[in-house]
Amino acid sequence: MKLVINHLTRMQKGFICAAGIDLATGQHVRPLLQSQMRKEMLARYGGPFEMAHIVELGWTKYIGTRPETEDYLFHRSEARCVGTMPAMEFWERLQGVAKAKLGELFGRDLLPRGRGSYAVEVDRGHASLGCYIPPRPVRLFIQRPEPGGRGRIRMAFRSSSYEFEL
């Protein structure tokens, strides 16, 4: 399975999550290991994962369940970067999978979970990954840090009846 990486998320300290678009099907795929993915899987540390990298996963096994329908198990030793998608082609690929309505991405089961947060219950919805085109410009800001901490870059936007702060 060959992906172009379009999602990289820092999880708890030292761990990441990566996902991409399957070049054969156009579907989102979240490659998972038997254990959490360490930051050493990032290209800057010698791994294959970086934005716009084309990654050949090697052996995969589908393990998705709703709403995480994108999940595939892979072997760390088989994953390798086979190239980088040119910027314009990458942007066109993102636009090709992006949707203007959150319901199109996640289904009608997307529900509020506190201020600015939404989720889909286990065994509901039809996806947990997607590319979203907001209807109007988003607001970027730096969240004030906790004492002794660092500020965090945040994004806020409104989509129909939903208000988000990510």
- Tell me the pairing of strands 71-74 and 15-22: unpaired
Q: Are 157 and 130 in contact (CB under 8 A)?
A: no
Chain segment 62-106, per-residue pLDDT in tens: 999 999 999 999 999 999 999 999 999 999 999 999 998 888 888
Mean pLDDT, residues 16-36: 98
In this prediction, residue 164 has a pLDDT band, given cuts at 50, 70 and 90, of confident
User: Quick one: which H or E segment has residue 9?
Assistant: strand 2-10
Mean pLDDT, residues 121-143: 90
More confident residue, 39 or 157: 39
What pLDDT score was predicted for residue 38? 98
Residue extents of the structural domains in the chain: 2-96, 100-165
What pLDDT score was predicted for residue 37? 97
Residues in contact with 80: Cβ distance below 8 Å, sequence separation at least 6, in sequence order: 48, 55, 56, 58
Of the given ranges (15-19, 50-54, 100-104), which has the lowest mean pLDDT? 100-104
- Tell me the pairing of strands 28-32 and 71-74: parallel
CATH tag, 2-96: 2.40.50
